[in-house]
Amino acid sequence: MSSSTTTTTRTDPSRREMLAALGIGAAALAGVRGAAGQTTMPQPASASPMTPQDLGWDPQTDRYILPPLPYPYDALEPYIDTQTMQLHHDKHHAGYVRGLNASLDALDEMRTARRGVGETKHWSRQLAFNGSGHFLHVIFWNCMGPNGAGMPRGLIAERIDRDFGSFKQFRQHFETAARSVEGSGWAILVLEPTSQRLMVMQAEKHQNLTAWGVVPLLAIDVWEHAYYLKYQNRRTEYVSAFMNIINWDFVQRKLSGLIEAFSPKR
Ligand code: MN
């Protein structure tokens, strides 16, 4: 058997990296392996591959787009109400997509027109705000689901135990981070790819307080627009409710894909 016939069944490495970077687990294409090569739990049949459009980017036009919600507006009732989901997805998230495309257009135009420092600063800030807003909302919609299992399984469960001590300690840390964000922001479970460590971070607005290099796996939006209609000022209740609808299979696939993409190559 020639080497060319064996390689035809493998996904091109650059494509695997691209898919993983987009949040599409390369593991979904190649079977799920942990960092040390251990086999973890098989993925459920529902774990269909995500397209770039599902993740908020259209390769045909090279524009960012508002991805469809991965479930109906009322799917997260009673934890998150239908009207909040409609406004949040159709109005708020759509605004970040527009702002992100507009920022890139303005920066393109500036490079050709050689315009001033002030505009560069303005549009760089717009890019950071709207870009982070778009990318985090994509994670947010996908890391929730009507059939939230309640508890992580497989590699993500192992890594949570390793890096936080236990799921209970992780949950307490994550909820406390979410409750205590000053003003509008997020609590985010991230992977730091070099050490493959999981960390919980806070974000103010969308873009402040990050550590460059980390990749979000799970994010809760604690802007008032995410919960005020149902929970009013009771952010703590909303954060608690969110824990019941986490789609841990999505978090698991994203973690596996990233670990594979960031592993040293031969
Ligand atoms: Mn939001």
* Residue 22, pLDDT above cutoff 80: no
**Residue, of 191 and 114, whose pLDDT is higher:** 191
* Residue 220, pLDDT above cutoff 90: yes
> Mind listing the pLDDT tens digit for each residue in 86-104?
999 999 999 999 999 999 9
Find all residues with CB under 8 Å of 54, minimum gap 6, and list them: 67, 68, 70, 142
- The CATH fold assigned to 154-262 is minor pseudopilin epsh fold (3.55.40)
Q: Work out the percent of the chain whose per-residue pLDDT is above 70.
A: 80
pTM for the full model? Answer: 0.82
Give the mean pLDDT of 242-249: 96
Domain ranges for the chain: 9-142, 154-262
> Mind listing the pLDDT tens digit for each residue in 139-191?
999 999 997 657 999 999 999 999 999 999 999 999 999 999 999 999 999 99
* Residue 43, pLDDT above cutoff 70: no
- Give the confidence band of 3 by pLDDT, cuts at 50, 70, 90: very low
C-beta separation of 174 from 185 below 8 A = no
- 92 CA to middle of ligand 1, Å? 6
C-beta separation of 206 from 107 below 8 A = no
- 137 CA to middle of ligand 1, Å? 6
Domains 9-142 and 154-262 share a fold: no
Q: For the domain with range 9-142, which CATH number is right: 1.10.3470.10, 1.10.287.990, 1.10.10.10, 3.40.309.10?
A: 1.10.287.990
Question: Reduced to 3 DSSP states, what percent helix, strand and coil does the chain have, rounded to the nearest 5?
Answer: 50, 10, 40
- 197 CA to middle of ligand 1, Å? 26
Other Cβ atoms closer than 10 A to 117: 7
> Mind listing the pLDDT tens digit for each residue in 139-151?
999 999 997 657 9
State the residue for tokens 């840390």. Answer: 173
- 93 CA to middle of ligand 1, Å? 6
- 141 CA to middle of ligand 1, Å? 10
